[in-house]
Each structure stands twice: as structure tokens, then as C-alpha cells.
Amino acid sequence: MFHREGQKIILTTFFSMAIIVVLAQFYIAEPWLKMTIQILALVILILILQFFRNPKRVVNKNFNDLLAPVDGKVVVIEEVEEEEYFKDKRIQVSIFMSPTNVHVTRYPASGVIKYSKYHPGKYLVAWHPKSSEKNERTTVVIHTPRFGDILYRQIAGAMARRIVNYAEVGENVQQGEDSGFIKFGSRVDLLLPLDSAITVKLNQKVVGAKTCIATTPHRDEE
């Protein structure tokens, strides 16, 4: 299964690589050069296919656990001052995605979208400390029954050139559902209440819609 955001690129790459393979077959006499070109074309196609893969995952939905929004590696766990929406202190958990990771973004919790905004910006490497402020990014806030308001940011990296965000203000969303896509290398930041109990560690690999990022004490729905 491939993500809908990759359909155009997959088709374009497939036909382009097919043309290269055919041209190499008929117009290149040197066997080693012909084989090299054809193998490279096949490798490029495989890389594009694996990047846009969209594995279906069964989600054990619950209000008390916050699930990873993406596949990747935890690179930041720290208390920060969130300036865009909350304007107070939050726990930030950042997940870096390499080009080999699944790049589908999934809703980390069920709730109602309160805020969704796109910010144009630079393309610093995704693990740069300033990437969450300077890079192209989207910010989404979900109101949840147990965590209250949580925020996540899709952040473009040095290779990424397009962020896709499906979240719309007022929409009811379900934990684990597709919320967007970031093309070619990126990072996602989660900004959580200070009393959230973080359940991951630095450098831990996480799986979107599967790995629990944090749990929280029960709260009455606001």
C-alpha cells in the first residue's frame, strides 16, 4: 500500500525508469554500462516506492496514552517555552525521520482540532535546534479528554520540500488516523503538558500509531 501523496511521483518515476531501461537496452553497446544503468534505474524506483509506503496498522485507541505520530528516533526530550500557541512551558519530545522511515504522519490522540497553521521557512537539517522555529512547518493543536490540549509540529528537513497537513479546525479526529505526510526527511515535535509521564527515552526507535510516547493522570474532560 502506498500513500496517496506519492501517486504522481511513483507514476512519473516508474515511466521514466522504464524508458531509461529500454533506451539502455537498445542503444548502449557495452554490456557492463548497460547493466549498470538499468540496475541504477531499478534502485531509484525501489527507493521511491519504499519512501511512499503506507503500512496499515491496527490501533489500540485509548485516551490515556499518547501514541507516536511517526516512525523514527527520539532525538529530544526536554522542557521548553512554547511561543506560538501555549506561550508557556511544555515538555517537548522530538522524533527524527530518516529517508528510510515511513513518512506518514498520524494523529497521536483522539480529539478535536483547535488550531492548524502552516509556516513557510528554511530547510535546515531536521535535527538542528532552530529547525522547529526556522524551518517550513505546520502546527496542529488537538483538544483531548485526558491530556487537555496537545500540540504537534511537522517540520521539513534539508531534503524535504513539501509538508502535507490534513488537520482542519473543528474536525473530530481519531488516534492513529492519517493526518498528513512529509516528503524526504523530516522531524515531528510533540509539545505536552508538564505532568505528562514520558514513556520513551532518547535515541529510542518508535513506530507511528504503535509506540506509547506518554501517559497522563486522569483529568476530567474540559
Q: Does residue 186 have an active-site annotation? A: yes
Residue with cell 512554547: 82
Q: Where are the beta strands (DSSP E) in the chain?
A: 65-67, 72-82, 88-97, 104-106, 111-119, 137-144, 148-156, 163-165, 172-173, 178-182, 186-192, 197-198, 205-206, 212-215
Contact 56, 105 (CB under 8 A): no
DSSP string computed for 68-96: PSSSEEEEEEEEEEETTTT-EEEEEEEEE
Give the torsion sign (CA, 59, 65, 67, 72). negative
Residue with cell 512547518: 137
33 conformational bin, left if phi > 0, alpha if psi -120 to 50, beta if neither: alpha
What's the CA gap between 216 and 45, in Å, rounded? 43
Please tell me which residue in 110, 179, 186, 196 is annotated as part of the active site.
186
Provide the annotated active-site residues.
186
